[in-house]
Amino acid sequence: MKKVLALVMAAMMALSLVACGGSDSSAAGDSAVNSVVDGVSSAVPAGGTVGICIYKFDDNFMTTYRNKLEEILTGKGYEVSIVDGNNDQAKQTEQIQTFITQGVDALIINPVMTSAAEQIVTMVKDAGVPTVLINREPTEGEMAVYDKIAYVGCDAAQSGTYQGELILETENKGDINGDGKVSYIMIQGDPENVDAKLRTEYSVKALEDAGVEVEELDMQRGDWDQEKGQTITANALAQFGDQVEVVFCNNDAMAMGALEAIKAAGRTVNEDIYLVGVDALDAALDAVAAGEMTGTVLNDADAQAQKAVEVMEALLSGTTYTAEEQQIYVNYVKVTPDNVSEFMAG
Ligand code: GAL
């Protein structure tokens, strides 16, 4: 019955949207209904059009994230259009402009380049479109010129720290060969991105802060990509052999590639090498459960999507954000063999 009612309401919202041309957010605001997200109740517009720009569709984590966004928004009666930036900032900038010209009520943007944030903020500010930036955090202060914009994401330093802790929690604190130092290779995401920078820095810092000596054997950019993760690991294992005790990957896709290379080299995770990632992709959770990955860190796509929609609705309802309020974080969670079952589907 509830479902039928929801469908009828969604149909009515769609009709009212067509009637008002789908571009007048104040008209959408007239038919405000109450919604409860994470226990926070706020008056939100019933339906409306939302343009979503994803930096590239061909990214495992962002695929989970965008599917969740679409599910939540369509479930609430919004008309959603999602576009693929193909990892090309010029293309994404055009897509944003097109959405603005079409008169969308709100935008959710996963920038291609962190460095493009200033330009994006100017565009949406000039058009007066409420906007939520996601996943690629702008530099501090870049959003301050516009009070109808906010960033929803996670504190990348926290995920790095958790990766380091996963190694510290092993029986030999990562020093498998007992030579008094932890020798690692680091496989980075796109280094233009703050997630890659901070995960790299803080994973190693966690070891150093615990008084553990570290040795970086190799650091390469794998651009969040599984195949690159595999190639980089295969090369590093061929070059450094048993010296490699830890493989730090800035995300799980690259860790899955690294796992293939580790197996191909005849090495065994958690026996003669440790492997950690970030995201808690399904494949990584399976690997942690099977003892083929030392651990990962949940990058909570569901919670971030929920929060992004919650903030978008707050903006549509007229809420404004001060510079101090514009960064909204969702926590990362450390995933080990002990708690992995809590994160696995079914
Ligand atoms: C990170 C995520 C990566 C990749 C990247 C894209 O947060 O861990 O897997 O999706 O975002 O910016």
Which residues are within 8 A (CB) of 52 and not within 5 positions of it... i.e. 6 or more apart? 66, 69, 70, 80, 81, 82, 83, 107, 108, 109, 110
Q: Which of 150, 145, 82, 86 is nearest to 113 (CA)?
A: 86
Q: What is the DSSP letter of 336?
A: -
Closest ligand 1 atom number to CA of residue 136: 12
Ligand 1 centre and the CA of 251: distance in Å? 7
Tokens 């799980």 map to which residue?
252
pLDDT tens digits for range 93-113: 999 999 999 999 999 999 999
Give the helix ranges, DSSP H, for the chain. Answer: 2-19, 25-30, 60-75, 89-102, 117-127, 156-168, 194-209, 226-240, 252-264, 282-289, 301-316
Q: What is the pLDDT along the chain (346 residues), one digit of tens a residue?
A: 333 334 334 444 333 333 333 333 333 333 333 333 333 334 444 589 999 999 999 999 999 999 999 999 999 999 999 999 999 999 999 999 999 999 999 999 999 999 999 999 999 999 999 999 999 999 889 999 999 999 999 999 999 999 999 999 999 999 999 999 999 999 999 999 999 999 999 999 999 999 999 999 999 999 999 999 999 999 999 999 999 999 999 999 999 999 999 999 999 999 999 999 999 999 999 999 999 999 999 999 999 999 999 999 999 999 999 999 999 999 999 999 999 999 998 6
Residue of 224, 248, 329 best suited for mutating to test ligand 1, as the one with most atoms within 8 Å of CB: 224
* Domains of the chain as residue ranges with CATH: 46-154+301-325 (3.40.50.2300), 156-298 (3.40.50.2300)
188 lines ligand 1 (CB under 6 A): no
190 lines ligand 1 (CB under 6 A): no
Ligand 1 centre and the CA of 85: distance in Å? 15
pTM: 0.86
Residue of 162, 195, 254 best suited for mutating to test ligand 1, as the one with most atoms within 8 Å of CB: 195
Q: Structure tokens of 96?
A: 């944003």
Ligand 1 centre and the CA of 307: distance in Å? 17
pLDDT tens digits for range 201-212: 999 999 999 999
Closest ligand 1 atom number to CA of residue 159: 8
Ligand 1 centre and the CA of 253: distance in Å? 9
Closest ligand 1 atom number to CA of residue 153: 7
pLDDT tens digits for range 235-271: 999 999 999 999 999 999 999 999 999 999 999 999 9
**Judging by beta carbons within 10 Å of its beta carbon (0-12, 13-18, 19+), is residue 155 exposed, middle or buried?**
middle
